[in-house]
Chains A and B, each alone.
Chain A
């Protein structure tokens, strides 16, 4: 199993995709630090991620301007706040980088039929599955660390200490977010093993985050449920909520949800893959 992981790392770091992903992450961190506002994905934003600015007057000016430079000046004028911490609240963006990781590590292998070169030899499907999962999680962690500490360092350099939450706080928040991020990687790995084609994988995973939010909102409206309460356990919201002093109960619930994702989706993925004919 270790050999499969080593060979995949050899291949991944000989391709361009991982470097493009790293550069993109750092560019996004740079833009975010320069404009002093974290971005977000999806059709909703988490309640904790958005209100960096409490002052309505400045907020209106920020909305009115199209200039990043002007936004930066307005944010600086507003006063010090931990921008790097806020950037961690937008870590749902990493979802798209996880797609890249799963495609290069797993889906390419299954889609190009190169997986058969590995599977006919003395490597069982279980070992293959675990090796791919561990590689995806390992590389996912690598990107998370680059994103979190990259943002922290870039922010320190560009905006100074007063706009930083500090190294320890960033580390603590990273640890809090890791389980749910691993859960999401497990979902992607499961989809990869179930569909095995790059086109199909991309067409399912790219809109998935928005589709899930739409479904939650649609169902909530239809059955008159509390949308906010349900959305608090949606991936993007969890990521946002975990950075703003969540209660222990909430941390525990999200941890359980992450464990459920990791176990549930990997069991499904492996069961499907076990019976699959390798083309």
Chain B
């Protein structure tokens, strides 16, 4: 069984008269790049802050690395960048990382150079943090998060305010870390299209509640263009599709719904052949939406 890196059970955070996190339950497995998506103020940062104990939870529980060991010990295995990257302005990039490496009890200074190279900041290592651009600050934040070879990194909107090139650089760095260093990543953003390019698991959060939790394949399925066939006789309908239309490019969603990915421009033909074979059709229509529309529809559904 795949190792669980983070498991939350009905995690709740309540402020005075405001529920910032409402019974959030998520599971992150080893090797996942887990995208947390939500609008500003949806509860993404609160969830991350609660996991990292920067704020105290009001209810529920969570465990790191599926272990019963002390949370403090498990936290040794995580790296983190929550909200904007904060470092000492009067220190250089190298000195800032050196400060935290002393704090973490690291003895090998060469590792600082290694992470600076990894985030493409090596040339700027003697530049003071206060003179950094936003992109450089974000990259230093990531360098800090991976400083002591963590197994799990938590990144809160690391692409915020970056230009397209900066976003791509961060994306490539994170993919590299996931693939080469086998680091599990929890990353939040309110830009689904950006997260889509990196994450393999998606969690939608709104008003503190988890409204959808799905894999990339499931998200693709939800968003891809198809003909949705609603019928009571799914089994017979699939036989007709295979025999009458010579296609197997469909998916049975449940006992009343089939999604057909062929004949997208010929809905009438599909309808006709099903009717001719006495299939009772409750509904047939084209479906498929953009990621942003999907996100919006989820939020609207959540509001209802």
Contacts and interface: CB of A to CB of B under 8 A. Distances in A.
B54 A116 contact: yes
A253 B165 CA distance: 67
Given A3-B102, A7-B99, A7-B103, A120 B54 contact: yes
A27 to B, nearest CB: 23
A116 B72 CA distance: 15
A119 interface: yes
Interface string B96-126: 0011101111000000000000000000000
Given A3-B104, A6-B102, A10-B98, A121 B54 contact: no
Interface residues of B, number: 30
A172 interface: no
Interface in B44-58: 49, 52-56
A160 B15 CA distance: 65
A120 B88 contact: no
A275 B15 CA distance: 13
B73 A122 contact: yes
A108 B88 contact: yes
A3 B99 contact: no
A14 interface: yes
Interface in A1-20: 3-4, 6-7, 10-11, 14-16
A113 B75 contact: no
Contact of A114 (B75, B80, B86): B86
Interface string B31-64: 0000000000000000001001111100000000
A60 interface: no
Contact of A120 (B53, B90, B95): B53
Nearest to B150: A121
A119 B49 contact: no
Nearest to A9: B102
Contacts of A6: 102-103
Contacts of A80: none
B82 A122 contact: no
B92 to A, nearest CB: 9
A277 B104 contact: no
A4 B103 CA distance: 5
B91 interface: yes
A108 B98 CA distance: 18
B76 interface: yes
B78 interface: yes
Contacts of A124: 72
A10 B90 CA distance: 13
B144 interface: yes
A112 interface: yes
Contacts of B103: 3-4, 6-7, 118, 121, 123
Contacts of A10: 98-99, 102
Contacts of A7: 99-100, 102-103
B82 A120 contact: yes
Contacts of B144: 117
B72 A117 contact: no
Contacts of A277: 49, 54-56
A278 interface: yes
A121 B106 CA distance: 14
